[in-house]
Amino acid sequence: MSHPGHNGRKRALFIGRYFDIEFYLDYSWFLIAAVVSASLTANFRDFVEGQASGVYVAMGILAAFLFFLSILLHELGHSLVSQRCGIPVPRITLMLIGGVAEIAREPDDARSELKIALGGPLVSLALVVIYFALSELFAWMNWEPGSAVCWWLSAANLFLLVFNMIPGYPLDGGRVLRAIIWARSGRLRYSTFITSRIGIGFSGVLAALGFLLLGMGKWNGMVLFVIAIFLKRAADSGYANAVEREVLAGVLVGDIMTPHPIALSSTSRLNRAVDEFFLAGHQLICPVCSDDGDFRGFLRLDTILEVPLEKWPYTSAGDLDIGDFEQATLTVDQPAGIAMRALFRSPADGRLAVLEEGKLVGILTQQDLSQAITVRSKLETMLAK
């Protein structure tokens, strides 16, 4: 599954960078990997006779490892196609619910959406064929453990392929269907609404099935619950992104920012900064500019509190660490859609400095963006009647 967004890297283990993509293991993966390995070991013991105990354990661990590698390759298929379409993929994360390729933004057109959506399933299809062929080869060589492992991997990848091709967003089949409807209607929002409703309906089916399995005392019912929750949230988020993208089409950052913000001079002493800005405005962070208006960064109250009180009258705002402000800025003429992603990764507590020729002319916050989307959505609905 691929979707725009950001996964919390603090909850995941970095395992390497390949093809300009960072690969992570979510800590929840270790639990499911252990469970899958143990389950496969028991299953192989039932279906493959006459092997030593260590062989069954090795079969279970190897099959689990190659299965999760298959999931990574599936997501890599999406990612490499996405990169060819000009859409960066910052990271791929292997989680409890499978793999997630986090694309930087949604595709610009239906053709790119279709290509990206099919990238993963084509990899899975190739793996089905490869593992089946290996299974037959090992059977011909009378190596039963190798044949059993590869047969299971072929079947598991076939299940992964079929599951992902269910036509509900954010599954691959849902993205394929969205691309087809988008191409015919020219309306991303409409196509996302249809496929996200299918996705939500499918998540309800999974949740009901999970409840049934739990009632039968089977642990995998909980896994289905987790997958159902993830799918529903992703479906809701996907439709919200489509609405925001359509509503903000043609809108610039300068149209939705809060203009003429109060800013500290980089030469302001800390005692005056605390009295005139932090206490008066009840803010925890403030923009800092040079005397000629050039933006310098954001100053946090916590940073000031690290300075001994007796030094405040002799220390200026510019003397302190005001952060990596390059990641917390936009220009007035940038599309508002870019602000959605920039706000999410802003190091300045969900706010951005809006600049014009290097000068601070406005501040953009999550609230500004949300209000702009709400106002335009309501006006759009009224005018459509």
Q: Please name the CATH architecture into which domain 253-384 falls.
A: Roll (3.10)
Token pair of 143 as six digits: 């190596």
pLDDT value of residue 177: 95
CA distance linking residue 346 with residue 342, whole number of Å:
6
Q: Where are the beta strands (DSSP E) in the chain?
A: 2-4, 12-18, 21-26, 91-95, 98-103, 258-259, 264-265, 285-289, 295-300, 329-331, 351-356, 359-365
The burial of 385, by beta-carbon neighbours within 10 Å (0-12 exposed, 13-18 middle, 19 or more buried), is given as exposed
pLDDT value of residue 181: 94
H/E element, 237: helix 220-247
pLDDT value of residue 152: 95
CA distance linking residue 361 with residue 368, whole number of Å:
15
Longest dimension (CA), the chain: 84
pLDDT value of residue 317: 86
- Residue boundaries of the structural domains of the chain: 2-247, 253-384
Q: Is the pTM of this model over 0.75?
A: no
Token pair of 280 as six digits: 């008066």
H/E element, 44: helix 28-47
Contacts of 123 (CB under 8 A, 6+ apart): 73, 74, 76, 77
Written as tens digits, the pLDDT of the chain (385 aa) is: 555 554 444 567 888 888 888 888 888 788 888 888 888 898 898 888 888 889 999 999 999 999 999 999 999 999 999 999 888 888 888 876 677 887 777 788 899 999 999 999 999 999 999 999 999 999 999 999 999 999 999 999 999 999 999 999 889 999 999 999 999 988 888 888 899 999 999 999 988 988 888 888 777 677 788 788 888 888 887 877 777 777 777 788 888 898 988 888 888 899 888 888 888 877 788 888 888 888 888 888 888 888 898 888 888 888 887 765 666 888 888 888 777 767 766 666 778 889 988 888 998 988 888 788 778 777 766 665 5
Token pair of 49 as six digits: 């006779």
pLDDT value of residue 58: 93
